[in-house]
Amino acid sequence: MRLKAIALAVSVSWHALAAQAPDGYYLGPEAVLPDTLYARELTATFSVRIDRTTGNSSDARLIATAERSFPTRETIQSAAASTTTPVLLRRLVKAAEAPGDRWWWDEVDLVWTPFAVTGLAVSYYMSRIEERSRGRNPFGNEPHGGALGYTARVEPPPDGADSTVHAVVRQTLTWYYHCGPICAMGFKHERVVEFDREGRPIRVVGDGRPSVWMS
């Protein structure tokens, strides 16, 4: 009986969070990230730059909510449904089996690529760039390096936006890693989360299969 009560409480809590988010999304866990401009040279060839500067507590709440807006696994699986390339299909199966609040699309060069720019995604890339800066090149003996960049900004609604949109949070995530003269991978992924006057997220634009370049 106690287990049933716990399961019911978890279910009610999840549905309450989902009710505060747009269709196909839910509000997941919050990641601990720097509040203002954070720039750090990890080594001569590795760097991190994060800018979540806000002018007031209201902006800070909007950014935090945007970073907690996760697509449901069904949303990601729906985006993957048109995939026919065997190699990518295998990667997507592996990605779907990984536990946790999913923000990732697939794995390339031992790194998840982003489907959604969430706080947990930023935290993951911070850990990965720091980890690689401390270790040897996992793909050979060539010198290696990389950079992580993330910005989150509160902006007024753009011209022509729906009248229910009171503000938007624009998030931009960039990753670059090179492991030799002909060995590199990078991406730039951007999303916009639209909010109503009460600070509720009502629409997410930009989530989807990332455009990843390799050499």
Using alpha carbons only, what angle is made at residue 143 by residues 138 and 149, rounded to the nearest 5 degrees?
80
Is residue 59 within 8 Å of residue 68, measured between CB atoms?
A: no
Write down the residue that tokens 């696994």 correspond to. Answer: 73
Say if residue 205's pLDDT is above 50.
yes
Between 119-134 and 57-67, two packed helices, what is the crossing angle to 10 degrees? 80
- Report the pLDDT value the prediction gives residue 29, as an integer from 0 to 100: 96
Give the pLDDT confidence of 163-184 residue by residue, as tens digits.
Answer: 899 999 999 999 999 999 889 9
Give the pLDDT confidence of 137-162 residue by residue, as tens digits.
Answer: 999 999 999 999 999 999 999 888 88
- Report the pLDDT value the prediction gives residue 18, as an integer from 0 to 100: 53
Task: For 84-200, list the strands marked E by DSSP.
Answer: 104-108, 111-114, 145-155, 167-180, 183-195
- Report the pLDDT value the prediction gives residue 159, as an integer from 0 to 100: 86
Percentage of the residues of the chain whose pLDDT score is greater than 70: 91
- Report the pLDDT value the prediction gives residue 14, as an integer from 0 to 100: 39
Give the pLDDT confidence of 93-135 residue by residue, as tens digits.
Answer: 999 999 999 999 999 999 999 999 999 999 999 999 999 999 9
Higher pLDDT, 166 or 19: 166
Say if residue 1's pLDDT is above 90.
no
Say if residue 11's pLDDT is above 60.
no
Per-residue pLDDT averaged across 16-20, rounded? 58
Per-residue pLDDT averaged across 48-59, rounded? 92
